[in-house]
Structure formats: C-alpha cells, structure tokens
Copies of this chain bind each other. A is one copy, B any other.
Amino acid sequence: MAELTYRQAVARGIAQEMERDPSVVALGEDIAAAGGVFKTTEGLLAKFGPERVRDTPISEQAIIGAAMGAAMTGLRPVAELMFSDFFGVAWDMVANQIAKTRYMTDGQVSLPLVIRTANGGGLRFGAQHSQSIENWAMAIPGLKVVAPSTPHDMVGLMASAIRDPDPVIVCEHKSLFADKADVDDGEIVVPLGQARVVREGTDATVVALAAMVPRALAAAERLAENGGPSLEVIDLRTLVPLDMTTVLESVRKTSRLFTVEENPRLCGWGAEVVSIVAEEAIYSLDGPLVRITTPHVPLAANPVLEDAQMPSADRIVDVVTTTMEATG
C-alpha cells in the first residue's frame, strides 16, 4: 500500500508493463529527459533507457505513424499526445490508419499500441488545450477507449491497455493529475470493459466518466444529506468496450437515468448510452432520460466561465432535483 497521485499512477502503469515485456516502448514530445510536461512519465528514461523511452520532434503524425509501424512489426508502443486536442493534427493516423488496418487486411496486421493523452478541462488552458475527445475516438470503429478516474484504475487500465492486442486510447484527465489515493503494491491489472458501481442507490442512476465521477459522487452525497433522491453512481471507466450490462441493470432497478458528460452537448457518449437505454429499457423508465453536459461551445480560459460551462456537483444536484420533482 502506497499513496500515489493519478499523475504518478500513469508512470507506474507504464513501468509495470515495460518491466514484464521488453517489446513495450514509449515515445512522445518531452517524455524522456523531461519526464513529460505533466510529469506523467517521470523516471521511465532512467529505468529503461533512451532506446525504449524516446523524445520526439513536434511531429504528431510521425509519432502516431511510427507507433503504428512499430506495432505492426513486433513492438508495443505507448505513444503520447501531450494534449488530447492534438489528436486533430494526427487524426488521419488514428481514425483512418490505426483504426481500420486490421479490418481492411482481414486480420493480417495486428496493432497492439496505446495512445495516451492529457484530456479534459478545468485547468484554465482555453479552447485548444481543454477538450474532451473521448467521443471522437468512440465514434471510430476499431479503437478502444479508456478514461480512468482514480490512481488505482489508472495503473490497472493502463496495464490492460498496453497488454491489449488492439489499439487503445487512454485519456488521462488533466484535472485529476494531483489527486492522491492509496494504491496496492505489486501488479495491478483492471480489465477493459467493466464499469464500476461507485455508489449504490435506489432512485436514479447517474453514469459518469473520469473527472465527472467525483462530481457525481459529491452530488449524490449532498442529495443524501438533504433527504433527496438516492443516486446510484456508475463510473463507466471504458467507453469501448462499453459495459451496458451494468448500466442497464442499474436503470432497470432505479428506472431513472442521468448521464454526466464533460464534452460538448452534441453526439457525446451520453447520447449513445441514453439511446441504448431508450431502445432496450424504455418500459422500465419512470421519466425522461437526461444528459448533463458542457454546453455546445468551446471551453473558455477564464475560471469563472469554465466553471460555469463544465458540469458541477451543484448543477447535477439541481438537474436531478428539478427533473425528479417535475416528473416524479
């Protein structure tokens, strides 16, 4: 048992896998000598050397393309895109090449690679350094998508992502890097595709991801303290594979669903979860399916504005309360 920050958990997860498998290599801008601009790869260069931990030029297409070429020829690259917004400059490599090549070649080409990225808002970095791109990836067949909310899950899901024979996008939430928690010693592996019920409840199901999980929990506690509805909070943890079994089971029990998404309004993972419930569990529902999201605008740099944009515990409490009252 050791106290670990979410930031340190990233490096621990990568190191755990580099130790057991010499084919695991890491590349990205400033990840080696500097240990990463978010200090998420600290110590890897010292432990594994420059052959396995590589600093790159500012060439995202080459970083991701090189990871793909290395993966199809026997390595297990872990590539960093410093900020998830930079998927924009490498999107062809991710969406058109990496996601489609195994399928197009009828299984001839294997791409066991991981793309790690600092995702999400809350750090006042403005519209080009704060996006949540988990939806971009979820919409592309051939990509698996992971977004841990705790240091323990970060270690364990990073391990599974690196061991996975298919491409996995690991979203590391910027605003969680400083979070601390006790994490078991020894090897940790958390399988992909298993949501976690982080709080049991009876009146409504709240599905959240990454930085929205602690906010959903806070809202649930506050409602409980004030005799409000009892919320069951689910941390999806991975978007692909998507654990709808856990979500549907909970919704059939509570007959209410709220999703809490950081990404802009349209076409988010919440819309996908809601749509599946609306097709498969509509007769179990007592009321509308409600998505709580950032409005459909970019994130602003100013703290007052950004805090007003991203879903907060307060907003979750308000929306849940008004919805349950209006339609109870």
A142 at the A/B interface (Cβ < 8 Å)?
A: yes
A265 contacts across to B, CB distance below 8 A: 141
Set B271, B282, B289: member contacting A288, Cβ < 8 A = B282
- Residues A126 and B104 in contact in the complex (CB < 8 Å), given A89-B92, A267-B272, A275-B289: yes
Q: Which of A23-31, A93-101, A170-178 contacts B (4 or more CB under 8 A)?
A: A93-101
A99 contacts across to B, CB distance below 8 A: 298
User: B139 near A100 (CB under 8 angstroms)?
Assistant: no
- Residues A267 and B139 in contact in the complex (CB < 8 Å), given A88-B91, A291-B279: yes
Set B94, B282, B298: member contacting A285, Cβ < 8 A = B282
A303 at the A/B interface (Cβ < 8 Å)?
A: no
A56 at the A/B interface (Cβ < 8 Å)?
A: no
Chain A contact residue count (CB 8 A cutoff): 52
User: B267 near A278 (CB under 8 angstroms)?
Assistant: no
| Chain A 53-77 interface residues, beta-carbon cutoff 8 Å to B | none
Set B96, B126, B135, B282: member contacting A267, Cβ < 8 A = B135
User: B89 near A138 (CB under 8 angstroms)?
Assistant: no
A266 at the A/B interface (Cβ < 8 Å)?
A: yes
Bound form: Cα–Cα A142–B128 in Å: 13
Bound form: Cα–Cα A267–B278 in Å: 14
A88 contacts across to B, CB distance below 8 A: 91-96
A268 contacts across to B, CB distance below 8 A: 139, 267
Question: Smallest CB–CB gap between A239 and chain B, Å?
Answer: 8
Bound form: Cα–Cα A282–B323 in Å: 13
A6 at the A/B interface (Cβ < 8 Å)?
A: no
User: B272 near A278 (CB under 8 angstroms)?
Assistant: no
A104 contacts across to B, CB distance below 8 A: 126-128, 298
Bound form: Cα–Cα A86–B92 in Å: 7
User: B296 near A141 (CB under 8 angstroms)?
Assistant: yes
A277 to B, closest residue via Cβ: B278
Contact digits for A163-191, partner B, Cβ 8 Å, 1 yes 0 no:
00000000000000000000000000000
Bound form: Cα–Cα A291–B91 in Å: 27
User: A278 near B269 (CB under 8 angstroms)?
Assistant: no
Question: Smallest CB–CB gap between A296 and chain B, Å?
Answer: 5
- Residues A282 and B289 in contact in the complex (CB < 8 Å), given A128-B100, A267-B139: yes
Q: A104-B128, A267-B268 are in contact. List 8 more A-B contacts (CB 8 A).
A: A87-B91, A91-B91, A104-B126, A104-B127, A141-B297, A142-B297, A271-B271, A278-B278
A selection of 30 A-B contacts at a CB cut-off of 8 Å is A86-B92, A88-B95, A91-B92, A96-B127, A100-B298, A103-B127, A104-B128, A104-B298, A135-B139, A136-B136, A138-B267, A139-B267, A139-B268, A140-B264, A141-B264, A141-B265, A141-B297, A142-B297, A142-B298, A267-B267, A267-B271, A274-B274, A275-B275, A278-B289, A279-B290, A279-B291, A280-B288, A282-B285, A282-B287, A282-B289
Query: Which 5 A/B pairs are nearest by Cβ-Cβ distance?
Result: A88-B92, A91-B91, A271-B271, A278-B289, A139-B267
